[in-house]
């Protein structure tokens, strides 16, 4: 992951790439994860950003651009710096020669600026899970957690996470109140092979065995925790 700035020219967008590393098969939340920023250098009634992802997919990125109705000029996008969402899922690992076409037409001008900004995206395979561990007290090898309490479990990969991080999908077997308090995924940061996860119970969590399954590729690692009164 690195920053690349495309030089500025009058009336043209400047692209700054902030994320170029991805993980195969992972869906990123466009509301929280972006591939970069694009500036709109002027009030524009023709502002768009078309991404060719390098794997055959082509789409217009909505960005976070803000606009308003402007009389005879119709709808215009305000000048400003906007984020570009990382809303694409790469099916396979590899290197992808991508390009974003930034289009700008400043209000009151006939000229349309349409510039291609190339970028190389690197997509990494997902790192498999090795095991899940915890320091909770155990009875007959089953970790024990008091109802209403919290615990830390450690999710360990078979290798260090690549530059993209490694997304670990989490599923829970337990009563509705227990599941509602948990998260559905966690990311292992790049260069690390493990991440700590907080397991939260409520005072109304049923006294029972609950199971966490953590998955990246292949077979899940599982841990059963017994909830006690």
Q: Which residue has the higher pLDDT, 9 or 171?
A: 171
Convert the pLDDT of each residue in 54-94 to its tens digit.
Answer: 999 999 998 887 877 777 777 889 999 999 999 899 999 99
* Long-range CB contacts for residues 151-154, cutoff 8 Å, separation at least 24: 151/198, 151/199, 151/225, 152/196, 152/197, 152/198, 152/199, 153/196, 153/197, 153/199, 153/212, 153/223, 154/194, 154/195, 154/196, 154/197
Cα(50)–Cα(89) distance, rounded to whole angstroms? 16
Around 97, how many Cα atoms within 13 Å sit in the side-chain half-sphere?
Answer: 1
**CA end-to-end span of the chain:** 46
- Sheet containing strand 21-23, edge to edge, reads 21-23, 113-124, 94-104, 48-52, 58-60
Measuring CA to CA, which residue among 142, 79, 84 is closest to residue 106? 79
Using 50, 70 and 90 to split pLDDT, how confident is the model at 126?
very high
Domains of the chain with bracketed CATH: 4-124 (2.60.40), 129-228 (2.60.40.1930)
Give me the pLDDT at residue 71, please. 74
Mean pLDDT of the chain: 90
Lowest mean pLDDT among 12-26, 71-85, 213-227: 71-85
DSSP secondary structure letters along 4-49 = EEPPP-TTS--EEE---EEETTPPP-TTT-EEEEEEE-S-BSS-EE
- DSSP string across 205-228: --SSEEEEEEESSSSPEEEEEEEE
Indicate if the pLDDT at residue 152 is higher than 80. Answer: yes
Average pLDDT over residues 9-34: 87
Question: What's the whole-number mean pLDDT along residues 175-191?
Answer: 91
pTM to 2 decimal places: 0.85
pLDDT tier for residue 9 given thresholds of 50, 70 and 90: very low
> Do strands 150-157 and 142-146 pair parallel, antiparallel, or not at all (unpaired)?
unpaired
Q: How far apart are CA 49 and CA 114, in angstroms?
A: 9
């Amino acid at each position: 992951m690195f920053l690349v700035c495309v030089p500025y020219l009058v009336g043209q967008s400047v692209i700054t790439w902030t994320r170029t590393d991805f993980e195969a098969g992972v869906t990123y939340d466009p509301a929280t994860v972006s591939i970069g920023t694009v500036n709109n250098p002027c009030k524009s009634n023709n502002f768009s950003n078309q991404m060719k992802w390098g794997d055959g997919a082509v789409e217009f990125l909505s960005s976070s651009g803000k606009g308003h109705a402007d009389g005879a000029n119709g709808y215009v996008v305000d000048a400003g710096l906007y984020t570009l969402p990382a809303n694409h899922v790469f099916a396979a690992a590899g290197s992808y020669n991508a390009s974003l076409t930034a289009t700008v037409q400043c209000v009151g001008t006939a000229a349309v600026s349409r510039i291609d900004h190339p970028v190389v995206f690197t997509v990494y395979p997902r790192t498999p899970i090795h095991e899940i561990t915890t320091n909770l007290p155990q009875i007959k090898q089953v970790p024990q957690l008091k109802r209403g309490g919290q615990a830390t479990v450690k999710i360990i990969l078979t290798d260090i996470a690549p530059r993209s991080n490694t997304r670990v999908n989490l599923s829970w077997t337990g009563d509705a109140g227990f599941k509602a308090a948990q998260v559905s995924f966690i990311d292992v940061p790049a260069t690390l092979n493990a991440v700590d996860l907080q397991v939260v119970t409520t005072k109304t969590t049923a006294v029972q065995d609950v199971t966490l399954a953590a998955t990246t590729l292949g077979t899940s690692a599982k841990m059963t925790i017994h909830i006690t009164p």
